[in-house]
Amino acid sequence: MLQDQSHIDSTSQPMETSAAGLVDRLTTSLPKIYRSYTVRVFLQAIITIWAVMSLTFVLVRLMPGNPVDVLIEQILTAEGISYQEAYDRVAASFNIDKDATELDQYFQWMGDLLRLDLGTSITSPGTKVIDEIARFLPWTVFAVGTGLLISFVLGIIAGMPMAYYRGSKLDHILSFFSSFSTGVPNYIWGLLIIIVPGIAWRWFDIGALRGTYDVGLTPGLNAAFILSALEHAALPVFTYVIAILGTWMLSMKSSTTGVLNEDYVNVAEARGLKERTVIRSYVGRNAALPLFTQLTISIGFVLSSGVVVEEIFVYWGIGHLLFQSITVRDYTSLQGVVLLLTAAIVFSNLFADLTYGLLDPRVRVSGEK
């Protein structure tokens, strides 16, 4: 993540020296450092993905009751065909060349992955895993993304007064809330939302909100579909907001507390700037800066944190696909989903590393050149 800041320090030197010297320095050393940093970060990401891919490969094959055998067994008993036929069918769905050694299989599988070929689903033959993912993923991205963004904005808004009025009643109340928000698991929040306002108070009909949109609507840019999609996403989104909000509040509070101690805030006030200007451009902007990096990083993690929530609300996102693949033992889909969720984390980390400089002018110099 950000532990390696050498590239920042080395490039944010003052430009006291002559312009020529500066240009000289920038053109020679900067790109080198920057490029090597990028390369390093990329390399790390790729290695991680590769490690996870291999782990998945091994995991699926080392599991007690090897899924390949289990599946062959299943097909044999269900359809009464010959072992060879069953094996062929399974091999096809797993992308396995039956004559190949395990090592060959491994390389074969890796090669397919590089072409984004995740194989075909075992339980619904003919369906490509990649298509399955494409069907379920957007809903998760939509719900989780919305929840993450709303909670981020609210957290920034709520975290600042906590720092401004540290020790006040407001701070205590908001801190207390944040303990609830961070401590209570997101799916427990979901259950509470279902039970209390949903079932006990009948504010909404939880049964009608299953799925991602009302049955019978055609997905597309029509008002009925969009409204329905929003309606169905509302509860999961609300759950994510409540469950993530506390973390943002605390982050923003500690970040703001740090910024409030900075000289430039003091000077800004001494300059007679309007309070709003100080809060917005001086305190808020600087305090929120590190949070953007956190936001980028958390995108990857939150994608996979919604599995239970999606199951509770019967929201058909990637978590639902994962759960389905597990319950019906669709190992190819499972492999695909795990790989995807890991890749999300790795790439959001990578993205955070690479975009960090775009937000903070202190690092931006190195990003541009």
Report 229-268 residues binding other proteins (CB under 8 A): 262-264, 266-268
Among 2, 43, 46, 63, binds other proteins (CB under 8 A): 63
Within 13 A of 16's CA, how many CA atoms are on the CB side? 2
- Given the complex with other proteins, which of 38 and 48 has the nearer CB atom? 48
| 168 makes contact with other proteins (CB under 8 A) | no
Q: Which is nearer to other proteins, 251 or 349 (CB)?
A: 349
Q: Which is nearer to other proteins, 120 or 306 (CB)?
A: 306
Using CB under 8 A as the binding criterion, the count of chain residues that bind other proteins stands at 79
Site for other proteins in 204-233 (CB under 8 A): 205-207
- Residue 152 CA to residue 298 CA, distance in Å, equals 11
344 touches 299 (CB < 8 A):
yes
Is-contact 306 300, C-beta < 8 A? no
Rounded to an integer, what distance in angstroms lies between the CA atom of residue 191 and that of residue 314? 12
Q: Which is nearer to other proteins, 228 or 306 (CB)?
A: 306
* By CB under 8 A, residue 354 contacts other proteins: no
Per CB under 8 A, 184 contacts other proteins: yes
Among 20, 28, 64, 216, binds other proteins (CB under 8 A): 64
Q: Minimal distance in Å, beta carbon 308 to other proteins?
A: 5
**Does 167 participate in binding other proteins (rule CB under 8 A)?**
no
Of positions 92, 130, 149, 199, contacts other proteins by CB under 8 A: 199
Q: Coil, strand or helix: which one is 97?
A: coil
**Region of 96-104, 123-131, 184-192, 221-229 interacting with other proteins (CB under 8 A):** 184-192
Can residue 41 be called a binding residue for other proteins (CB under 8 A)? no
Which amino acid appears at position 320 of this protein? H
- Other C-beta atoms lying within 10 Å of the C-beta of residue 354: 16
Of the residues 80, 126, 216, 272, which one makes contact with other proteins according to CB under 8 A: 272
Q: Tell me whether residue 89 or residue 364 sits nearer to other proteins (CB atom).
A: 364
Candidate segments 74-82, 91-99, 148-156, 271-279, binder of other proteins by CB under 8 A: 271-279
Cβ distance 111 to 97 under 8 Å?
no
Minimum separation from the CB atom of position 80 to other proteins (A): 24
Residue 55 CA to residue 51 CA, distance in Å, equals 6
Alpha carbons 20 and 272: distance in angstroms, whole number = 38
CB 210 within 8 A of CB 313: yes
Long-range CB pairs of 130-133 (<8 Å, 24+ gap) are 130/336, 132/321, 132/333, 132/336, 133/318, 133/321, 133/336, 133/337, 133/340
**CA gap 110, 46 in Å, rounded:** 13
Longest dimension (CA), the chain: 87
When asked if residue 183 is in the footprint of other proteins (CB under 8 A), the reply is yes
If one asks whether residue 6 binds other proteins (CB under 8 A), the answer comes out as: no
Q: 10 Å Cβ neighbour count for 80?
A: 8
Which tokens hold the place of 197? 């306002």
176 touching other proteins, by CB under 8 A: yes
